[in-house]
Amino acid sequence: MDAELITIVSDIFIIVSAAVVAVVAIFGLCTWRKELTGKAKFESARDVILLSFRLRRNFQRARNPFTSSLESSDRPRREDESQNESRVLDESHAKNRRLQPLIEDLQKLEEAGWRAEILLDKSAGEEVSAAVKAFWHYYAELSSAIESYFETTYREAITNSVYQDQEWLKELKKIIYSAGGDDFSKEIDEVTDKLASTLRPYVK
């Protein structure tokens, strides 16, 4: 009888132990998955915020009125270029070079945005998507202004004439050149700050 009792108690102990181990394993798995998900959300939100800050800085740099001669030193030159032609072509080359980091970071932000839309809450994902679209819009506006402005001023340089719509050129110049504080800069700041504010809870 004692042997049977010991066997029964032993079996019960094994069953209870197995159940406890199973519960602990399930709890551990859930905790592990929660930690992984939390880490993935943290990294996704952090990457998007950092890229948006980099984009804001790159917009500022692209629009900075000062350009160095080093920025156009690799531009192919013609022997018969006039001084005015060289000036316009050098400036155009420098400005277009500054667009390169913008397009590279925009592509990175777009990819990071896809990941964020999957991992983060719906409202946060929508905010990321809206910010990406806004940054693309500002990039298109800036690159279009650069192309139109320098095509026109180059035509002025080679023909020694003045383009009839100087007000339009002034408006393009406002987009291309800025030390900050203008409407274009403020709009980019608003997009960046709103995005960072939305995602900040994920990186605390």
> 150 lies in which domain range?
44-203
Q: Residues 14, 20, 23, 29: what is their CA dihedral angle, to the nearest 10 degrees?
A: -90
Euclidean distance between CA atoms 191 and 197, whole angstroms: 10
Structural domain includes residue 16: no
pLDDT exceeds 50 at position 22 = no
- 55 with 136: CB under 8 angstroms? no
**pTM, full prediction:** 0.81
Query: Could you report the per-residue pLDDT of 87-109, keeping only the tens digit for each?
Result: 999 999 999 999 999 999 999 99
Structural domain includes residue 105: yes
Query: Could you report the per-residue pLDDT of 149-175, keeping only the tens digit for each?
Result: 999 999 999 998 999 999 999 999 999
How many structural domains comprise the chain?
1
Euclidean distance between CA atoms 78 and 81, whole angstroms: 5
Structural domain includes residue 147: yes
